[in-house]
Amino acid sequence: MKKNFIYLIVFALLVITVAEFIGFQSIPIGSFSIGLLPLVFAIAITMILGLSIFRKGFWKKVYSKENVDFASKYLIFIMLPLMARYGADVAPQIGEIIQVGWVFIIQELGNLGTVLIGLPLAIMLGLRREAIGATLGIGREGELAYISEKYTLESKEGRGVLSIYIIGTLFGAIFFSIFSPILLQLGFQVEALAMATGVGSGSMMSAASASLVAQVPDMESTILAYASASQLLTSFLGTFTMVFLAAPLQQLIYKFLVRGDN
């Protein structure tokens, strides 16, 4: 086994230890409080130490090309045990979930919010074709594939979706772990927020649902059950929502908003 790989493992253990010892921190901001979980510290530490200014000498061995490639290539496999856990959360509550099954399906349509809220703002800021790529969805693999097939990734649309992809990859988990408790404090029901966490990205969903669990620990099993059922549904229906609803709706709004300017 490569020596650098051992550094990677030791580094991961150290980061986990530090993040867990910092623990859950609640930071009040005005009348809100933002809860920061160990997972937020873990991603923040690893991202900051990965900045190129730090990557000298020993750090260069930890963040070697092979190690970074390993992490990005196999992140999905590292994530599999989390997905395997969700069965155990959903199974005991399957009856209840099926009972409100139609609510799960309806909230999928909420993912059109990317077009309804994002597109007008993007047009207002002066973006045009980039906006198509940037607001079709949250820029995960599904949207990347769709946009690159339809417009190629070198097009303006492609640049838009790639930008969202990059921003989401870097900050999505942090964003959702802060945003979902804020909605909770605005008066949303925790069950509704749990259902909404199935946005189609594993790390964003885990960050959002984990921060809800931290706020309402008594509801842990319900939160995780709803979150994972919704995530699973998004992986089934997400493509259809995008192709048959989001994309046509986007074209309609786009044409309406940019009419007469060329």
Partner 1 sequence: MTNGMNKYVKYGLILLLSVGLILFTQEIKSLKDPNSMPVTGTTVLGLGVLWLFSMIGIGISDVMQKSSVKFIRDFPILGWVSITSLVLCLISDFFVQAIQAVDFLSITTPILTFAGISVANRLVDLRKTSWKIALVAIFVFTGTYAGSALLAQLGLYLAGN
Binding mask 157-196 for partner 1 (x = CB under 8 A): --xx-xxx-xxxxxxxx-xx--xx--x----xx-xxx-xx
Pick from 35, 36, 132, 138 the residue near partner 1 by CB under 8 A. Answer: 138
| Residue whose C-alpha is closest to residue 135's, from 154, 156, 120 | 120
Residues 115/143, Cβ–Cβ less than 8 Å? no
Alpha helices (H) in 23-118, listed in sequence order: 38-49, 57-62, 65-90, 94-99, 101-108, 113
User: For residues 27 and 170, which CB has a smaller minimum distance to partner 1 in the complex?
Assistant: 170
CB burial of 241-260 (b: ≥16 within 10 Å; e: otherwise) equals bbeebbbeebeebbeeeeee
What tokens does 251 get? Answer: 């074209």
Give the nearer residue to partner 1 in terms of CB position, either 33 or 235. 235
Draw the binding track, 139-158, toward partner 1 (x: CB under 8 A; -: no contact).
Answer: x-x-----------------
Q: Among residues 101 and 256, whose Cβ is nearest to partner 1?
A: 101
Per rule CB under 8 A, is residue 115 in the interface with partner 1? yes
CA 142 to chain CA centroid, Å, is: 13
**Residue 10 lies near partner 1 (rule: CB under 8 A):** no
Q: Which amino acid is at 90?
A: V
CB of 194 to partner 1, least distance (A): 8
Residue 222 found at the interface with partner 1 (CB under 8 A): no
By the 8 A CB rule, do 114 and 136 touch? yes
Nearest-approach distance from CB 78 to partner 1, in angstroms: 5
Q: Assess 216 for contact with partner 1 (CB under 8 A).
A: no
Among 35, 137, 158, 181, binds partner 1 (CB under 8 A): 137
Q: Structure tokens of 33?
A: 């409080």
Instruction: Name the segment binding partner 1 (CB under 8 A); options: 28-36, 79-87, 150-158, 248-256.
Output: 79-87
Q: What secondary structure, in 3-state letters, does 175-227 show?
A: HHHHHHHHHHHCCCCHHHHHHHCCCCCHHHHHHHHHHHHHHCHHHHHHHHHHH
Interacting stretch for partner 1, rule CB under 8 A, among 5-13, 26-34, 148-156, 252-260? 5-13
Q: Report the nearest approach of partner 1 to the CB of residue 250 (Å).
A: 12
Q: Provide, rounded to whole angstroms, the least separation between the CB of residue 26 and partner 1.
A: 15
- The amino acid that residue 14 corresponds to is L
Shortest Cβ distance from residue 148 to partner 1 (Å)? Answer: 14
Pick from 71, 216, 219, 257: which binds partner 1 (CB under 8 A)? 71
